[in-house]
Amino acid sequence: MTKFVDLHCHILPYVDDGAFRTKESERLLDMLYFQGARSICVTPHLRHRMFETPDEEILVQFDELQAYAAQRSYPVHLFLSREYHCDTRLQACLESGTVRPLGEGNSILIEFSQLHDFATILEWVARVRTNGYQPLIAHVERYPGLDGSLDRASELIQNGALLQMNASSVLGREGLRQARWSKKLLKESLIHVIASDAHDSMERPPLLDACHRYLRKKVGDAYADALMRDNPMQIISTTEKENNSHADN
């Protein structure tokens, strides 16, 4: 079985719109583990006026989930990061040097709203890089700012961004339009990472194994493994990254 690396999920309880209680959090970790995840970055939202749980409270939940993993003897690496909405909170974290990169690398998971236009997305990519971090753009398939343009996706990569797509989008769970756009991006090898973005066990569950099976058929074993194992492993393992090497795998 391919051992997956999941760089984006909301499985900590009581910290954002993800797991709503401890049992659900443990259930989500069980699901990820039995689907084959062996390294997992938990990424609670940080967003101005919406999700503002401080790191200290998140650390308490993270330690409890670590203890649960140990109690179950899961050979799984858990890392604590955040999903940073591009707003004043991220700006403050960049200025104070308190961002939490993914794993041991220097990439940070950033997200945009439906209202961010393309120029603003590019500005944030540059700002994150200027501060010494590599931006991994969360669920890039969602943003109207890209306007369904492969050229715009390429431009983001040329400007130093890595692009993440959700497993649910690949599998068509987010609607036909998003599924079509996701396929186009994958066909052109413009995606670097596929992650679960799991929030709960029913409505937004982890779908790693189903997604990997689908990808193997559609894009081949090598790119499927790169998207769900090799590229994310490289992101959490090292501070030196070259964008193109991810996409070319």
Instruction: Provide the binding-site residues for Fe ion, judged by CB under 5 A.
Output: 83, 197
Q: Closer to Fe ion at the Cβ: 87 or 219?
A: 87
CB count within 10 Å of CB 25 equals: 25
Residue 16 has phi, psi (to 5 degrees) of -155, -150
Residue among 45 and 229 whose Cβ is closer to Fe ion: 45
Give the HSE-up count for residue 11: Cα atoms under 13 Å, Cβ half-sphere: 34
* Beta carbon of residue 15, minimum distance to Fe ion (angstroms, whole number): 12
Least Å distance, CB 39 to Fe ion, is 17
> Please, which residues have CB within 8 angstroms of residue 4's CB and are 6 or more apart in sequence?
35, 36, 37, 38, 39, 208, 212, 228, 229, 232
Task: Using the minimum distance from each CB to Fe ion, give the nearer residue, 199 or 246.
Answer: 199
In the complex, the smallest distance separating the C-beta of residue 44 from Fe ion, rounded to whole angstroms, is 9
Nearer to Fe ion, 5 or 219 (CB): 5
Pick between residue 6 and residue 83 the one whose CB is nearest to Fe ion: 83
Q: Which two tokens stand for residue 188?
A: 């052109």
Kindly state the smallest distance separating residue 165's Cβ from Fe ion, in Å: 12
